Amino acid sequence: MKFVGSQKVLITGASGFLGSALSDKISSLPRYSLVTTVRKGSRNKAVDAIPIPIASMSAETDWTQALHGVQTVIHTAARVHVMNDLASDPLSEYRKVNVRGTLNLAKQAVAAGVSRFIFISTIKVNGESTLPGMVFTADEQPHPVDPYAISKWETENGLYQIANETKMDVVIIRPPLIYGPGVKANFLAMMRWINLGVPLPLGAIHNKRSLVALENLVSLIVTCIENPAAANQIFLVGDDEDLSTTELLQRIASALGKPARLFPFPTCLINFAASLLGKRGMAQRLSASLQVDISKARKLLDWEPPVSVDEGLRKAADDFKKRSSGL
C-alpha cells in the first residue's frame, strides 16, 4: 500500500495522552489531512484537525461521518487498564468497548474503503513480565493475564480475521509503559515523589524494564501509515535502553534537577509489604523485569527511536515542572 499525495487519516481517542500527541504530529505533516474523534465534552487541540464527538464506543456506534474519505484509521481509543477495577465482571466491560467496539469500527472502516487500520494494543498481551535475560518478541505466543490484556488480545484476533477476509491491512503495535509530556498514573506519581524529595525504599532493585517515550511511539505509528512492509504485522516498540526501577528513578531525578532520595531495601520485603497492603500488582511492576525486542520494526520498517531515554525524560520533566508551577 502506497499513497500518492495527500491522504485522509482518522485518529480515534484524540483527546487522550497518546491521541493528542499523535494528532499534533500528523496535523503538522502536509501530506495528510486529519480527522479526529474525541469523547463528547472533550477537545482536540491539533491544528487543522476536524474533531467529531463520539458519545461512547460500542458495537452500536455509528462511525459514518468520521470515516468518510479516510484511507488510514489509527485507533487509540479504548477502555484502558483500570487499577482496582470495581466492576463485577471487568472482562465483560473491557470486551464491550475494546473488542466489540473496535471490531464494529473496523467493519465499518472496511465498508468505507479504508486501506489500513493501525491498532494500538499493549505489551501486556505478551505477558506481565520477562525472566532475567529474556525479552518479549513480536511474533511469540501471547500470554495475556488480566482482563484488559485479554480484551486487547481478542481484539487483535478479530482484526486479523477481518484483514484475512477483506482488502484492509491491519497493523498491531504493542507499547510498554509510555511516558512523556502530560503523562499520568504511576509515572506521574514517581515524578511527584522525586520532586517532593520523598525517601523511597527503591535503591537496590536490579530488574530491567523497557519503556517508550511518547515521541518514539508517535514516530513508529507515523512510519506505519504508509510503509508497505507494515501490512498485517505486529510490532513491539521501545526506547532501546532498558532501565531498572532504581535507574529510572535516578534518571527522573536528574531530569527534574532533584536529588534521588533512594535507600536500599530487600525486594522480597517490598513485595511482602505490598501484598499485605493489597498492592501486589504495583510491587511486581516495580521489581519484575519486562523487556521488549524492537528489532522487527528496525528490520522491516527501517525505523529507529528518534529520541533517547534521557531526552524523553527531560521533555516529560519540563512539562511536569511547567504544570506544577501553574504556567
Residue 94 annotated as catalytic = no
- Please identify which of the residues 94, 148, 160, 179 carries the catalytic annotation: 148
pLDDT single digits (tens) 140-187? 999 999 999 999 999 999 999 999 999 999 999 999 999 999 999 889
The full set of domain ranges for the chain reads 7-181+211-240+290-306, 185-206+244-287
83 has a pLDDT exceeding 80: no
Cα 115 to Cα 238: distance, rounded to the nearest angstrom = 26
Instruction: Give SS3 for 156.
Output: helix
Mean pLDDT along residues 10-20? 94
pLDDT at 283: 66
Name the residue with cell 477502555. 79
State what percent of residues in the chain have pLDDT above 70: 88
pLDDT of residue 49 exceeding 60:
no
Candidate CATH numbers 3.40.630.10, 3.40.30.10, 3.40.50.720, 3.40.50.300; the one for domain 7-181+211-240+290-306: 3.40.50.720
Instruction: Please say whether the beta carbons of 110 and 168 come within 8 A.
Output: yes
Alpha helices in the chain (DSSP H): 17-27, 64-67, 90-94, 102-111, 147-165, 185-196, 214-226, 245-256, 267-276, 280-287, 295-301, 309-325
Tell me what pLDDT residue 324 has: 87
How big is the CA angle at 21 (ends 101 and 11), to the nearest 5 degrees?
Answer: 35
Of 89, 57, 55, 86, give the one whose Cα is nearest residue 73.
57
pLDDT at 326 over 80: no
Query: Is residue 82 predicted with pLDDT exceeding 70?
Result: no
> What's the angle, vertex CA 322, arms to CA 316 and CA 324, rounded to 5?
100
pLDDT digits (tens, 9 = 90+) for 229-268: 999 999 999 999 999 999 999 999 999 999 999 999 887 7
The predicted structure's pLDDT at residue 278: 64
Q: What is the pLDDT of residue 287?
A: 85
pLDDT at 1: 45
Helix (H) or strand (E) holding 131: none
Phi, psi values for residue 35, rounded to 5°: -120, 140
Average pLDDT in the chain: 90
CA–centroid distance for 170 within its chain:
17
In 3D space, the residue among 4, 17, 5 whose CA is nearest the CA of residue 185 turns out to be: 17
